[in-house]
Amino acid sequence: MKRHVRTLAPVLIIFFAVTGAQVLNAQIMDPIHAHVDHSFVIGDRTLPPGEYTFRVSSNPDQSLMTAMSDNGKASAQFLVRRSVENHRPNYSELVFRKFGNTEFLSKIFEVGSRDGVAVMEPSKHEAQLINEGQQALEHSEEQK
């Protein structure tokens, strides 16, 4: 019996290490198609209202995301990090932080997953507003 436990233990350790690593790296795997009815800021780019596709690059650490308008006229690339929410959205969600009339993309979540991505660094304009003590209203928009 002890021999079986000794043989099985390394197999179980490897199994849990591999499956645990996949859970830790779980982020947005599929493109997110979204309709945004207002202009919004990503990094230092202001994108107009429209239809967009958000896609994580295929690099190993999955830290670069691209937003491309469906007409190909507007795009932005930005760094993202893992973000975890306490709910599983029924639809993909875009989360914005609004200061006055300016909306900054903050997070993106794929349908059915608590794991998403957050924009790593605020834009210079957003950082300035935060340093001035302004408070953002955070809201999410479901993408059906």
Per-residue pLDDT of 64-82, as tens digits, reads: 999 999 999 999 999 999 9
CA 42/CA 26 separation, integer angstroms: 23
Phi-psi sector, 100: left (phi>0), alpha (psi -120 to 50), beta: left
Instruction: Name the band, by pLDDT with cuts 50, 70 and 90, for residue 21.
Output: very low
Q: What does the pLDDT read at residue 7?
A: 54
Round to whole Å and give the CA distance between 36 and 94.
Answer: 9
Average of per-residue pLDDT across 16-32: 57
- Do β-strands 92-99 and 102-109 pair in parallel, antiparallel, or remain unpaired? antiparallel
Distances (CA, A) of 111 to 30, 58, 76, 134: 10, 20, 22, 31
pLDDT given for residue 44 in this prediction: 87
- When pLDDT is cut at 50, 70 and 90, the band that residue 142 belongs to is confident
% of the chain beyond a pLDDT of 90: 62
Global pTM reads: 0.77
Find the length of the chain: 144
Summarize pLDDT for 78-114 with one digit per residue, the tens.
Answer: 999 999 988 889 999 999 999 999 999 999 999 999 9
Instruction: Please report which confidence band the pLDDT of residue 13 belongs to, taking 50, 70 and 90 as the band edges.
Output: very low
More confident of the two residues 1 and 16: 1
pLDDT above 70 covers a percentage of the chain that reads 78
**Whole-number mean pLDDT of the chain?**
83
